[in-house]
Structure 1
Amino acid sequence: MTDYLIAPSPQAAGLTRRVRGTDQTGAATDLNVVEERPLTIFLNGQEIVTAMTIGDYPEYLALGFLRNQGMLRDDDLIKGVDYDDELETVVVRTEAQTSYEEKLKKKTRTSGCAVGTVFGDMMEGLEDVVLPDLRVRTSELYALAARINRTPSLYLEAGAIHGTVLCQGARPLVYMEDVGRHNAVDKIAGWMLSEKVSAANKVLYTTGRLTSEMVIKTALMGIPVLASRSGFTAWGVEIAQQVGLTLIGRMKGQRFVCLSGEERLVRDADPAQVANEPRKLGRKAAK
């Protein structure tokens, strides 16, 4: 998987732990389980949130979370991003000091996994969103799904994890995983902000549900296409249609469903010529 810019590292130290239990017959079995740890994010002197995360790429997670909550703009001058492993904190420092007390009062808990925290005024910026009119080739979608689903990952190693992949054409670029799908997409947003990567010609692929928050985050990042192996929520579909986001779900083997942006699909692949997925991609058997 050398052509990924960032790929999962399922064997990296500290991401999983070996735990002994018993199976349905009462026999002893060992299983890899995903670690999760707290990460507290500060913006200048203000504590913003404590997220539960697997612990990799904390700087990208902090930058992306703040950017996706509207606390960081693309043109903000970032003076530093400091991670302290012992204190489990990331401090993002900007040129301008800003207070977010009122915004913090409006935070709500969403239906997402782990830290599904979104602020009440997160949708305000959607009125100004104009997404690029990116044409999407179905041949590229099939190629992306096949490649991503076969990439060694924490999901295949231990499960209990979500993945999000930034793609361009038929190439997956950056593959992030975390216990919450929102954390995974925030890591990608942080990487894009740090590396000043354009969103105009990108596709975001996620293993999780296509909820309102996932649609909002993708649109605010300026990415015109969101695809998933999983299904939709009605509000997610409604928002995608309002902002002109191409929304594709239930991508498995030959099948997918497009509920927004059908006019931007270029159907250049015959589904009958696409290999079906094995019935279960499955994780490694416990040793």
Structure 2
Amino acid sequence: MTDERASLLSTREILRIEGGKSRREDDSLLRESRVTLVLDGVEEVTAVCTAGHEDFWAVGHLKCRRLIEHSEDVRKLDVSTGVVSVVRSRRLEGLPCPRRLLSTSESELAEGVEQRLEGAISGGLWIRASVLREGAAWLAEAPIFRATGGTHVAALVSVGGERLFMAEDIGRHNAVDKVVGWAVMNGAPLGESAILVSGRLPLDMVVKALAAGIPFMGSVSAATADGAEAAERGGMVLAGFVRGERMNVYTLPGLVVP
């Protein structure tokens, strides 16, 4: 693990109980941070997060809110301790979002937004199941999760299977935002990519990926009924329990080649 990643951790002596026996040992715990996004001079949101890639987080959040579309929409971006300031070159209405502290849930964001994303994905691309499996396996390599078990992980791969970018964060939405922001800032085609996540696939997570224009989403965990219905209406392939040689394809199964 790099020094930068090590700075995100704190060592604490614990009592480990296992197999009816106990012992004292050191354990690694993840530190929490807070970052505020200021958009065009107005506070947009404050998030509890894992430090690092704050620029990607800010741009990804704005992309998933449809407050920007491309990197060219960001005229100026400044990162300082606890604050990311973005000035846009053009102002888009975007999707509604309550102004409040965000931690690990954005269910309110999904309410009233899903209907505006029906048919959001229209490319008709297909993907091999092996690409989703290999992307999900990549999640297990996340170094901070391996050290602490305390992060959510999101990974972006191309439909051809190329590993593009992985992000970890204490918040599942933040991890997705960081991956989406990386893609926007580096010109990676989100519309020809798949995103794999380590957590469940409820409505709010599916809405976030739909808003970003990602046609394929998978997880090592389960989808909810609302998440699957939103994915189907939006034209997204949604797969859960992507583990080893198995997966459950909830929507558009004809676009997944076994």
CA distance in 2, matches of 1:131, 1:90: 33
From 5, 8, 20, give the equivalent of 1:12. Answer: 5
Unaligned runs of 5+ in 1: 1-7, 268-287
The residue that corresponds to 2:104 in the other structure is: 114
Residue identity in the other structure for 1:59: D
Does structure 1 retain, via aligned residues, the 8 Å contact 2:135–2:155?
no
3-state SS of paired residue (2:122): coil
TM-score by length of 2: 0.87
The residue that corresponds to 1:277 in the other structure is: none
Q: CA 1:47–1:157 in structure 2 vs 1: closer, same or farther (change >3 Å)?
A: same
Deviation at 1:142, TM superposition (A): 3.0
Higher helix share: 2
Residues 93-135 of structure 1, C-alpha deviations (whole Å, 9 max, x = no match): 11346899x955x45899xx62536535433530351332121
3-state SS of paired residue (2:27): strand
The residue that corresponds to 1:55 in the other structure is: 51
Matched, 1:151 2:177: no
Residue identity in the other structure for 1:32: S
CA distance in 2, matches of 1:140, 1:96: 36
The residue that corresponds to 1:273 in the other structure is: none
CA distance in 2, matches of 1:194, 1:69: 16
Identical pairs, percent: 25
The residue that corresponds to 1:210 in the other structure is: 201
Does structure 1 retain, via aligned residues, the 8 Å contact 2:139–2:155?
no
TM-score by length of 1: 0.79
CA distance in 2, matches of 1:97, 1:130: 23
CA distance in 2, matches of 1:205, 1:56: 20
CA distance in 1, matches of 2:53, 2:101: 24
CA distance in 2, matches of 1:211, 1:57: 25
Matched, 1:90 2:80: no
3-state SS of paired residue (1:260): coil
CA distance in 2, matches of 1:54, 1:13: 12
CA distance in 2, matches of 1:108, 1:239: 24
The residue that corresponds to 1:185 in the other structure is: 176
Unaligned runs of 5+ in 2: none
Corresponding pairs, count? 253
Does structure 1 retain, via aligned residues, the 8 Å contact 2:167–2:178?
yes
